[in-house]
Chains A and B, each alone.
Chain A
Amino acid sequence: MSQDFSLNPEIQDPAKATHEGKNKYIGLWFFLGGETVLFASLFATYLSLRNSTAGGPSSQDLFGLELVFVMTILLLTSSLTSVYAIYHMKNHDFKKMQLWFGITALLGLGFLGFEIYEFTHYITDYGFTFRSSAFGSAFYTLVGFHGGHVVFGLSWLIALMVRNAKRGLSLYNAPKYNTFAIYWHFIDVVWVFIFTVVYLMGMVS
C-alpha cells in the first residue's frame, strides 16, 4: 500500500502538493543559501588575486566581450525556457514541459561548449593556465566551479527527462523537476555576477 502520486486536475502546483515535495523545495532553498557562501568565498578569493598575474597575461589581455556576451545570452535564455517548462508543469502538460526542458538542456550545452572553447583558447593561445599565476588559479577555480555546477545541473536534468519520458508527470517526480529549475536559476544568477565581476570589471581596470 503506497501513497497515491497520481495527478488530479484540482492540484494547483504539483511540485508542492506533497509533504516530501515541500521538504525538497525548502531544503533546496537552504542549500542555495550555503551555495551562496561558497561562491561568495570564491569571488572574494578571485577579487584579491585578480591582479596577481606574475608577469603573465592580465584580464585585459585575455577577455573578449563578444564570446562572453553570447554565453550570457545562452544561459539567461535557458533560465527563461525553464520558466516556461515549469509553467507547463503547473498546467499538467507533461509533453510541453519536456520540450521546454529539452531546449533548456540544449542552451546549457551550448553555454558549456563555449566555455570549453574559451578555456582552451586561453591555454593554447596565451599560455594562461591554472598553474601559471595566482590570477590563473583564481580565474579557473571561480569560473570552473560555475561550469561544474552547469555540468551537474545538465546531468541532473537529462537524467530526470530520460527517466520520466514514458511515465509522465506525477506528484513524485514533479518536485524533482521543480527543484532542478530553481537550482538552474541560481546558476544563472551566479553567472550574472561572474559576468560583472570577472569580465566587465576585468575589461575596465
Chain B
Amino acid sequence: MSIASTQKKGFGAILWDYLTTVDHKKIGNMYLACGAFFFILGGIEALIIRIQLIKPENDFISAGLYNEMITMHGTTMIFFAAMPMLLGFMNAIMPLQIGARDVAFPFLNSLGFWLFFLGGILMNLSWFLGGAPDAGWTAYAPLSTQSPGHGMDFYVMGLQLSGAGTLMGGINFLVTIVTMRGPGMTYMRMPLFSWTTFIASILILFAFPAFTVALFLLQFDRMFGSAFFDIALGGNSIIWQHLFWIFGHPEVYILILPAFGIFSEIFATFSKKRLFGYTSMVFATFLIAFLGFMVWAHHMFTVGLGPVANSIFAVGTMAIAVPTGIKIFNWLATMWGGNIRMSASMLWALGFIPSFTIGGMTGVMLGASTADFQYHDTYFVIAHFHYVIVGGVVFGILAGLQYWWPKMFGKVLHEGMGKIAFWLFFIGFHLTFFIQHFLGLMGMPRRYWVFLENQGLDTGNLISTIGAFFMAAGSIVFVINIIYTHTKAEKATNDPWGSGRTLEWAISSPAPEYNFKQLPLVRGLDPYWIEKMDGNDKMTPAEPVNDIHMPNGSILPLVITIGFFIASLGFIYQVDNKAWLIVLFTGMVIAIGSMLIRSLKDDHGHHIHKEDLEKEAD
C-alpha cells in the first residue's frame, strides 16, 4: 500500500489496478464489496417475499415471480453473498494471521474471484433476459429439467462458473496454510480463524465437485437431451437430490465454520483472555467437518430411503450437536472471568450464542427422522436454517466486518452506530424467524405463494414481515456507518482494539502490500499478545530486511472469465438456435487461449528492493 499510495493515481489507473491485481488483500476487498452487493440484492428479494406474505391471499407479486424470488433469494444469499464475504475475510486476514506475505497462487486467487463475480452477474442477468430461475435454490429434478424458458439454464451456468472459482479459492487457501506459515507458526499455533479457513477449504475441495457433477447432469439434460432425470428413458431424479445434498450439507459447514473462527477471535480479543480450550476447538472443528459429510440424507428423510438409512443419518445428524456444544461451552468459558469489553463486534458475538443455539436445537428436532415427516417442507425448516445461517453466518460476517474493518480499510467503524445496527438487526431477526417455527408447526408449507385467511397464520406472518423491515433498517444503519466512518474517522492504529492477540494486529492498518517487512518470529499461540506481555511493542523479526519477491499483476484472469462467460451464453442459447454455437466456441477460444498464454508466457514476478523497504516506517 504505502509505496503505491504515496503517488496519487487517476481513476483509470485505480480501476486497472483492481482489474489486474493479484494482491490477496485487494482481492479480499473485492470479494467483500461484491458479496455485499449481492447481499443487498438477496435482501431486497427477501423483503419482496415478506411483503407478498404480509396478509392472506395477497397479490403483490404473481405466483411465477414469487417462485423466481424464492429461488434467487436462496441462491444469491448462499453462493453470491455469504460465501464470497467469508472468502473475502479468508483472503484479507488469513495470510496476515499465519505470517505469510501472500497466498500460494495469487493468479488463481484472482481467477477465482472473477469467476465468482461474473457467475453471479450471469445468473442475475436472467432477470432481464426472459425470467429468473424458478425451481427453488435446491433445483430438484424433474421440476428443474421441466422448468420452461432459460431461467434454470442461467442457474446452471452461473453456479458452474462461481463453483469453479470457489474450488480454486479452496485449493489456494489449503496450499497457503500448508506451505507458507511464517517462522515458528506451527499448526497448533494458528489462530482459530485460520484453522477454520483451512478446514472449510477442505470441505470446499471435497464437496464442490459433487455439485459440479450434479450441475453437469442438469446441464446435459436441459441443453443436450440426455436422460439422467428422464424417467421415460430410465433416468432417476433422486440422483440429483443425492448429489445436491452431498454437496449441500457440507456447504452449510463451509459457511458456518469460518463464522465460528471469526467469533473465536472476537471472544478472545474482547475478553482479554486466551481462547478457552484451543485444542478442543480445533478438534471439534475437524469433527464437525467430518460428520458434515455423513449426514446429507437428512434432507431426504421423506424420499423413502427406508427406516435403516433414515436411522443412521438421524444418529449422525444428532452427533454433530456434540462438537458444536463443545464450541459453545468453550466460548462461554472464554468469557468466564475475562475482562469483557462490550464493543459492537462483541455484541454480535454475544447475540450469536443464543440465536445459533436455538437453530442447533431445532436442528436436532429435524434430525429425528420420524418427526421430520411432520416438519418437512414447512416454515419450521425455514425458521431452523435461518436461525443457523443468519444467526450464525450473517452475524459472523457483520461481526467480522466491525472487527477487521480497521485492518482492511484503515478506519475504525463507529461503535455507537454499530451497536444500533446490531440491536435493530437482532430484534428484527428474532421477530422475523421465531414466529415461523410456530407457523411451520401449524402446517404452513414453504414456497407457497399465498396462504388462506382464518387458519391462524395471519398474525404470525404479519409479525414476521415487520421483523424483516427491522433487519433491513439494521443493515441500512450498517451501511450509513461505513459511509460516515470513511468521511469522518481518523486513521486507525496498528492495534485499534488495544487487545489484539494475533499477528495481523502487529502490522499497520491497512497492511502494506508485502504484509511483513521482516517475517515475524512466532513464539506461541497468540504471538502478538506474548510479545506485548513481554513488554515489546512489536514482533521480533525472524530475518534481516531483504528484497521481497512479489507476483506480477495480470489482466488474464478477467479475460479467461469473460471467455467462459461468453461461452455460457452460447451454451444457454444454442438450444434455441444452433448459430449460438459460434458464440460458445468464441468464448471457449478466448478462455482456453488466455489460459495457454498464461501457461506459455514466463512470469517470474518482481522484487521490492531492500533500499525501498528501509525508507518505509514499520
Given A44-B242, A54-B227, 15 new contacts (CB under 8 A): A1-B607, A3-B604, A19-B179, A26-B174, A26-B175, A27-B104, A34-B167, A38-B212, A49-B235, A49-B236, A49-B239, A134-B227, A135-B234, A137-B227, A159-B596
| Given A23-B179, A45-B239: A34 touches B224 (CB 8 Å cut-off) | no
Which residues 177-214 of B have a CB within 8 angstroms of A? 178-180, 205-210, 212-214
Q: A30 is contacted by which of B175, B216, B221, B228 (Cβ under 8 Å)?
A: B175
Whole-angstrom CA separation of A23 from B220 in the bound complex: 35
In the complex, residue of chain A having the shortest beta-carbon distance to the beta carbon of B234:
A52
- Assess the B209–A141 pair: CB atoms within 8 A: no
Q: Is A22 an interface residue (CB 8 A)?
A: yes
- Assess the B227–A133 pair: CB atoms within 8 A: yes
Fill in one digit per residue for A10-43: 1 if any B CB lies within 8 Å of its CB, else 0.
0000000001001100110011011101100110
Return chain B residues, CB-CB under 8 Å to A53.
234
Return chain A residues, CB-CB under 8 Å to B547.
1
Q: Which residues of B contact A (CB under 8 A)?
A: 104-105, 167, 171-172, 174-175, 178-180, 205-210, 212-214, 216-217, 220-221, 224-228, 230, 232-236, 239, 242-243, 246, 547, 549, 596, 599-600, 602, 604-607
Min CB gap A15→B, angstroms: 14
Q: B234 is contacted by which of A22, A30, A134, A159 (Cβ under 8 Å)?
A: A134
Q: B205 is contacted by which of A2, A33, A131 (Cβ under 8 Å)?
A: A33
- Assess the B226–A54 pair: CB atoms within 8 A: no
In the complex, residue of chain A having the shortest beta-carbon distance to the beta carbon of B172:
A27
In the complex, residue of chain B having the shortest beta-carbon distance to the beta carbon of A3:
B604
Q: Is A186 an interface residue (CB 8 A)?
A: no
Could you list some 18 contacts between A and B, CB below 8 A? A3-B549, A3-B604, A3-B605, A23-B104, A27-B105, A33-B206, A38-B210, A38-B213, A41-B243, A44-B243, A48-B236, A54-B232, A133-B233, A135-B234, A137-B220, A137-B221, A137-B233, A141-B226
Return chain A residues, CB-CB under 8 Å to B227.
54, 131-134, 136-137
Return chain A residues, CB-CB under 8 Å to B233.
52, 54, 132-134, 137
Return chain A residues, CB-CB under 8 Å to B602.
172
- Assess the A38–B179 pair: CB atoms within 8 A: no
| Given A45-B217, A48-B236: A37 touches B206 (CB 8 Å cut-off) | yes
In the complex, residue of chain A having the shortest beta-carbon distance to the beta carbon of B214:
A41
- Assess the A133–B246 pair: CB atoms within 8 A: no
- Assess the A131–B226 pair: CB atoms within 8 A: yes
Q: Is A121 an interface residue (CB 8 A)?
A: no
Q: Is A95 an interface residue (CB 8 A)?
A: no
Whole-angstrom CA separation of A17 from B226 in the bound complex: 47
Return chain B residues, CB-CB under 8 Å to A19.
179
Return chain A residues, CB-CB under 8 Å to B605.
2-3
- Assess the B234–A34 pair: CB atoms within 8 A: no
Q: B230 is contacted by which of A26, A31, A134, A159 (Cβ under 8 Å)?
A: A134
Q: Is A107 an interface residue (CB 8 A)?
A: no
